[in-house]
Structure 1
């Protein structure tokens, strides 16, 4: 009997301790226990899910933008290659001598002369808007007037022979602006032949293949071409020459003037006597700008830049000459600049230096000159190749 209370006394504190043990409850500020409660909703990490969703949408946007840029780039490249193929001249010279570069290394740059419906000789340009240039044109000897009202031209026309031509392009995507052709008065070709030949071989009347390659290299070299053409033009060789400019898209005189003025100013360093600071040259530049103070220039209308034996520059604008290829031009004289240095700088813009207005035109002109020196001095080489 006495042992039962004692047993109860021994068990009571243990029972009471179990009953009074603190109960762990989650509060707003308490930390989450390490062990899972077993319920799925309490195991979600909202911050991790939000970051995962953000990364997914960011990667999705980057992927879509990459695809868009790649698609635009491939579209532009494909359009460029198609345009390049469409602008290639038609293969109309299958009956002419071989143009395979393996057979004739310079064949790719040589001109092909065709005949139009009326039998006149024309040279393909490779452009659909201005498909051809006449092999020969006839230009008058423009008088040097003192007033605009006195602009006139002589009634005697001189034949000019095409030396080379090419497209003028701008911007990195190669927007075509105009086709330009370089013509030399046919009676003056002999003097040009002699001058070019003597530069390579002073005692020769014609150049052999190795000498022609030497001349070609000199005329394409930036420094060599500046020196060669600077000496020729300063000595009046060729005595009479012209650039025929025909736009392939609608433009205006102000755009043409700005391009010419920038080209002339860039070449003043190669002119003697500090031309940029010379009052006479400054007056010539003002006269040149005044000539181009006009309106629009529709495509296919020709602009003639003519340099005579004294270096005088005559500027004529098309009055329908593009419709009469190879015939005496009906272009009307719109201005004259007497300062020889201005026309020389303008000519160098197409013929010499590290950067020319049209590299295809420069290369075509060089190949045309090489054709001249293939024949003895005094003969005009045939353009049919």
Structure 2
């Protein structure tokens, strides 16, 4: 018989005490998820938002940096390509002497490129006027139909001369050299000037310059070309050489193309031209420049420039014909308000040969010229002439590049 005190029930009855923090399970509630017992970190919404903002901000910065780097690389590549296009052609020591790119002066030759219309142009290296045409078609300006055009009282509406050039006949002129005209000690640019010679008259210029160094030569060898270059750059010898050539009508037809790099006016250009002519006139070979005829010619020259403004990039053309007559044409663009047609218009003619000769010497010879870069470029262009046999159409520029610009 068992003792009553040693008897223990096999199981305890369910207790009626429930903890408040333990949810009661019903038939509608799901089974409680099992927990792994690991510590669970609570989500910080603010921190996650800051991380997201930082990510997208860094992403935008990276994309903008890439875009800016791409644009800078494109601009730099385009700039370097432009510099390669306009810089002189380097000579190759392995080239034969017959190759047009050989020689000690090949680096001074200019490159010919083509514009979108297929015209040959020469880069100038100037940002305002980047190119010059390799050739010009200029009409044979003759004396106006009216002996003396009526003087205009209003410089804004100057008269336009009517010429007797028939059937639109023109003469081709080839660029010899070009350069910029600067003034004051800070080299303020005024205009870009290019020297053109009628293509048909190049042979006579070749012959005259070659005979100056070697009377029996039809072309000059390198050491003879060096002698001619030194003579054309020497202050006294260059003035004498060009004075004699121009007085004898060599080259017969030539022109200076003047393009302002900044807005100016005809009076400003006139003052510079007049000072140059008066400085050169006393030293001209032949008849002196102190007679009444020369004074009348200068009065006519001043009257041609009794006009208004000359905007930058507009063309002023100074043309000397076989008799030495100076014709001045201006292309200011079409203007319906002022009744001005498009294209070059003859604005004046000066018959006295000494005026154009003195003006030409202002660019070609003497101790001080209007543009030293232009004279040096012209001399190098002439070296291209004399290194070829007389009678061949020599040009200053070498067509080594056929690119569109």
TM-score under structure 2 length normalisation = 0.68
Contact 1:151 1:334 in 2 (8 A): no
Contact 2:161 2:347 in 1 (8 A): no
Structure 1 residue 98 corresponds to structure 2 residue 90: yes
Structure 1 unaligned residues grouped into runs of 5+: 1-85, 322-328
2:272 to 259, 266, 282: 259
In the TM superposition, residue 121 of structure 1 has moved relative to its aligned partner by 1.1
Match of 2:189 in 1: 176
Residues 182-228 of structure 1, C-alpha deviations (whole Å, 9 max, x = no match) = 00001111111111111111111100001000000000000110111
What RMSD over aligned residues (CA atoms) do the two structures have, in Å?
2.4
Match of 1:299 in 2: 312
Change in Cα spacing, 1:153 to 1:125, as seen in structure 2 (3 Å) is farther
Structure 1 residue 188 corresponds to structure 2 residue 201: yes
Match of 1:117 in 2: 116
In the TM superposition, residue 367 of structure 1 has moved relative to its aligned partner by 0.5
In the alignment, the residues of structure 2 paired with residue 331 and residue 241 of structure 1 have an alpha-carbon distance, to the nearest angstrom, of 17
Match of 2:148 in 1: 147
1:228 to 241, 264, 273: 241
In the alignment, the residues of structure 1 paired with residue 354 and residue 148 of structure 2 have an alpha-carbon distance, to the nearest angstrom, of 21
In the TM superposition, residue 297 of structure 1 has moved relative to its aligned partner by 0.1
Change in Cα spacing, 1:215 to 1:101, as seen in structure 2 (3 Å) is farther
Match of 1:136 in 2: 135
Q: Secondary structure at the match of 1:236?
A: coil
Residues 87-131 of structure 1, C-alpha deviations (whole Å, 9 max, x = no match) = xx722158x852589985434533222211222111111111110
In the TM superposition, residue 319 of structure 1 has moved relative to its aligned partner by 4.1
Change in Cα spacing, 1:108 to 1:360, as seen in structure 2 (3 Å) is farther
Change in Cα spacing, 1:362 to 1:135, as seen in structure 2 (3 Å) is same
In the alignment, the residues of structure 1 paired with residue 391 and residue 103 of structure 2 have an alpha-carbon distance, to the nearest angstrom, of 25
Structure 1 residue 271 corresponds to structure 2 residue 284: yes
Q: Secondary structure at the match of 1:303?
A: strand
Structure 1 residue 162 corresponds to structure 2 residue 175: yes
2:299 to 286, 298, 317: 286
Matched length: 291
Structure 1 residue 330 corresponds to structure 2 residue 343: yes
In the alignment, the residues of structure 2 paired with residue 344 and residue 239 of structure 1 have an alpha-carbon distance, to the nearest angstrom, of 12
Contact 1:160 1:183 in 2 (8 A): yes
Change in Cα spacing, 1:98 to 1:317, as seen in structure 2 (3 Å) is same
Stretches of 4+ aligned residues off by more than 6 angstroms: 100-103
In the alignment, the residues of structure 1 paired with residue 250 and residue 385 of structure 2 have an alpha-carbon distance, to the nearest angstrom, of 14
In the alignment, the residues of structure 2 paired with residue 290 and residue 100 of structure 1 have an alpha-carbon distance, to the nearest angstrom, of 52
In the TM superposition, residue 273 of structure 1 has moved relative to its aligned partner by 5.8
Contact 1:319 1:330 in 2 (8 A): yes
In the alignment, the residues of structure 2 paired with residue 160 and residue 344 of structure 1 have an alpha-carbon distance, to the nearest angstrom, of 18
Q: Secondary structure at the match of 1:225?
A: helix
Q: Secondary structure at the match of 1:243?
A: strand
Match of 1:30 in 2: none
Residues 249-303 of structure 1, C-alpha deviations (whole Å, 9 max, x = no match) = 0000000000000000110121246634211100000000000000000000000
Change in Cα spacing, 1:246 to 1:153, as seen in structure 2 (3 Å) is farther
Change in Cα spacing, 1:224 to 1:349, as seen in structure 2 (3 Å) is same
Q: Secondary structure at the match of 1:129?
A: coil
In the alignment, the residues of structure 1 paired with residue 107 and residue 310 of structure 2 have an alpha-carbon distance, to the nearest angstrom, of 32
Contact 2:243 2:285 in 1 (8 A): no
Structure 1 residue 241 corresponds to structure 2 residue 242: no
Change in Cα spacing, 1:273 to 1:188, as seen in structure 2 (3 Å) is closer
Contact 2:328 2:349 in 1 (8 A): yes
